[in-house]
Structure 1
Amino acid sequence: MSNPHFETDVLIAGAGPGGASTSVFLAKEKINHIIIDKAVFPRDKICGDAFSGKSVGILKRITPAWQDYFLTDKNKAVVSTGIQFTAPDNTCLDIPFLLKNTKEQIPAGFVSKRIDFDNTLAGLIDNQYATLLTNTLLEDIEEIKDGLLVTIKQHGERKQIFTKMIVGAEGRGSIVAKKMAQHTMEPAHYSAGIRAYYKNVSGMHEQNYIELHFLKELQPGYLWIFPLPNGTANVGVGMLSKSISLKKVNLKQLMLEAIKTHPTLKDRFVNATIEGPIDGWGLPLGSKKRKLSGNRFLLTGDAGSLIDPFTGEGIGNAMVSGLVASRVIKKAIDANDFSIHFLKQYDDELYTKLWTELKLSHYLQILSSKPRLFNFVVNKASRSKELKETISCMFENVDIRKKFMNPLFYLKILFNR
């Protein structure tokens, strides 16, 4: 091996939510590491821009003063206190997020452009233990004796890093996932999304509820409207890639047609203006278990296909995976064991935390693709306080979600007046 430009025990590829969270928690363990990103911060990221209570929980672990960093500037974030569903038959259902500890006045969620959120999170990377290299592209990974030789291109110059292990956190299309875990894109477990920023969309919820519109022409998928500061909204559409291919759907055309003609949307966009382009991206869904570790590597966030199949939210799961990754990495360094067998505990621990939720979300994704059944549930919930509260609890309690997999649940609400 020729002399590498850098040497480290741990290399993190990607400084988005998964990679940055891994880095921050490694620093708390006083573990030196290198983290690279192909971009220079601040940089934009195509996303729905909504952050769940799960993201809030990890931010609290990162710093008790997280609200000062992420919510104080009202030009960069708005707190969201609930979600609004619109069924295919246009029935509307408001579901408030329930707070487990209202005494602390913890926001249940918020919406912030990724250019602001990711830049703030990257700013919390501790340079006492982390060397952050931006404008640095991961090109190749080679397994050699006692480690990995990673080829990067930094500011256009090709260099090499020797590391004992690597964390793939580069999002969809991850080189670590492709090269070391042999992940491929599976249309049945992958969604395509587009989003645009609109100014002056009318009829936004006074408590900044995020909106999911399950339009018949978008099944299986939905159109979203998420409130942002200063009268701006993130508007987008997501649909399973498999369905897009089968139906030969043009997502951009479908979204523009929906906001122009759909009865629940058209009046709200009369005075709205689009700001910037309509951008698209892919969402690797967590609707099946995948290999998340192997000899000298771990995968976090979108690189590990951990996006919620029902809501499309991936940031919370990315940050949880960063926390779990840091714990396993600490153990691996202490044991000096980076083997496939030792790192398998990462898959076990992470899926213990997430799999029940991901599996149930996959079921809800299937439910939402059946317009008649989805209409039935939303209509019943709009008239039943008990069912409405059940759905509200569903967003915090995985056990509540299990009810939706039991046929007796639908029989019960059928006779619930």
Structure 2
Amino acid sequence: MPSSLQPSADADVIVIGAGPGGSAAAYHMASHGLDVLLLEKTEFPREKVCGDGLTPKSVKQLLRMGIDTSTEAGWMHNKGLRVVAGPTQMTLDWPTLDSYPSYGLTRTRLDFDDLLAQRAVTGGARLRTGVNVTGPVFDRAGRVVGVEAVVGPDKEPETLRAPIVVAADGVSGRMALALGINKRDDRPLGVAVRRYYYCAEKHDDDYLESWLQLRSAANPDVLMPGYGWIFGLGDGRVNVGLGVLNSSTAFGRTNYRQLLGDWLSATPEEWGMRDETNADGPIRGAGLPMGFNRVPHYTRGMMLVGDSGGMVNPFNGEGIAYAMESGEVAAQFAADALGRSSAPAREAVLRRYPRELSDRFGGYYRMGGVFVKLIGNPTIMKLCTEHGLKHPLLMRFVLKLLANLTDARGGDAMDKVINGLSKVAPAV
């Protein structure tokens, strides 16, 4: 086994965090025959702040893990996106592509993450919950060779070792920070808040709904910052939330929970979203690290996956698809590296991991950074929504661009334009 390279190792790879990125990495690494130790600080099931909406890009990654995405397995299917801007609406179906399924999904993170973690286990990974990783273990050369952790309710200290460590520990990026990998302020960042409501009118909506203009009942003539969503969960509830980007002047100076309440005050009364008694749980918020806002994604024996590497799509705030895809990519490079017989050869393979991520997403994320700056201007945002929604062909192009849904080979004219722009844009 590759772990024989380090006789004292507890695994070939230690993955920190059993969110979508960590579980995908663990599953694919185990599929490559590696001994994988997946560490999660909490116990399942557990809450995560998320819109709970999955585009076909995420669905593809679920299918690559062999997960049953049927309605019988508890998934709510959707056909596409409904865009709402004041009185104007447009409904857009997901594009028909060779590379992606033609449907999206919704499912709460309460059991979504548990499902993925258990899939990693059935694939061969070893899951340990209640293990809070506190920092890396270094060898004499400063390379990461394991982790320090506290375990269980008594917080017993434990040291675990592996020749490769994958940090999938989310927005906080504790492991990345321990290696001096700080967030970049020149990259997009968002804040999102969401709440569950019981809503008979919207819970079984087969389109994800995106609101590009937010207004309050108290002051309907004033456009509020941010964008909103309403995603039906199919169980009587909807996930309702909003996000604000750091290109907005309101970023960091707004009570986001109050902002959500103000917007919901203007929704139809029959939806029940104005009424606290229809709410299921509190308002929860989280950061959205976008556009590779923490790099490099590999250094000194540690790989970054998902939110720990700032991999949220700047165009639409989607993070799950990129977390899972980066986990699969990390697995490929880890397996290749551990199959090499010398330390320099293994290191050379691992150093190609950031380049692969940059090739896949770097140019697209660069365009996303420009997009974020543009829509941060209320005048530009108003022009785009008021005029763009009148042109169905343009909006179909925008949907492909925002959701990053194109065929890499062949495809239609829209695919060729988006793919071409991504290639010529300088990678972040």
Instruction: Normalising by structure 1, report the TM-score.
Output: 0.84
Partners of 2:370 and 2:87 in 1: CA distance: 22
Residue 47 of structure 1 aligns with an amino acid whose one-letter code is C
8 Å contact 1:188–1:240 — kept in the other structure? Answer: no
Q: Secondary structure at the residue paired with 2:43?
A: coil
Contact 1:93–1:378 at 8 Å: present in 2 too? no
In structure 2, the residue matched to 1:330 is 335
Range 123-132 or range 240-249, more displaced: 240-249
Q: Tell me, yes or no, if structure 1 residue 132 matches structure 2 residue 132.
A: no
- The answer for the alignment partner of 1:414 in structure 2 is none
Give the aligned partner of residue 283 of structure 1.
288
Partner residue in 1 for 2:115: 120
C-alpha distance in structure 2 between counterparts of 1:300 and 1:325, whole Å: 7
What is the CA-CA distance between 1:214 and the residue it aligns to?
A: 3.3
Other-structure match for 1:408: none
**Aligned partners of 1:34 and 1:130 also within 8 Å:** yes
Gaps of 5+ in 1: 406-417
Counterparts in 2 of 1:385 and 1:282: CA distance versus 1, 3 Å: closer
| 1:20 Cα deviation from its structure 2 partner | 0.5
Q: How does 1:35-114 map to 2 (within 5 A)?
A: 35-63=38-66, 66-68=68-70, 71-73=71-73, 76-87=74-85, 90-101=87-98, 106-114=101-109
Structure 1 residues 138 and 269, CA, compared in 2 at 3 Å: closer, same or farther?
same
- Residues 154 and 326 of structure 1: is their aligned pair in 2 closer, same or farther, counting only changes over 3 Å? same
Aligned residues: CA RMSD: 3.1
**Does the 8 Å contact 1:204/1:227 carry over to 2?**
yes
Match of 1:312 in 2: 317
Compared CA separation, residues 368 and 140, structure 1 to 2 (3 A): same
Deviations 1:187-225 (A, max 9, x none): 863221111101116457843333233336443x31211
Q: Is the 8 A contact 2:336 2:349 kept in 1?
A: no
Q: Is contact 1:213–1:223 with CA below 8 Å preserved after alignment?
A: yes
Instruction: Indicate the SS of the match to 2:207.
Output: coil
Corresponding residue of 2:389 = 382
CA distance in 1, matches of 2:273, 2:157: 51
Q: Aligned residue for 1:410?
A: none
Q: Indicate the larger mover: 340-349 or 27-36.
A: 340-349
Give the deviation of 1:92 after TM superposition. 2.2
Distance in 2 separating the partners of 1:188 and 1:280: 20
Q: 1:25, 1:323 within 8 Å by CA — same for their partners in 2?
A: yes
In 2: Cα distance, 1:90 partner to 1:15 partner: 42
Pick aligned residue for 1:363 from 366, 370, 392: 370
1:222 aligns to 2:227 (yes or no): yes
User: Aligned to 2:136, what secondary structure does the other structure show?
Assistant: strand
Give the corresponding residue for 2:160: 161
Q: CA 1:266–1:310 in structure 2 vs 1: closer, same or farther (change >3 Å)? A: farther
Distance 1:182 1:340, change over 3 A: farther
TM-score by length of 2: 0.82
CA distance in 2, matches of 1:21, 1:188: 25
* Whole-angstrom CA distance in 2 between matches of 1:361 and 1:90: 27
How far apart are the structure 2 equivalents of 1:27 and 1:188?
A: 33
Q: Identify if the C-alpha distance between structure 1 residues 304 and 174 changes in structure 2 by more than 3 Å, giving closer, same or farther.
A: same
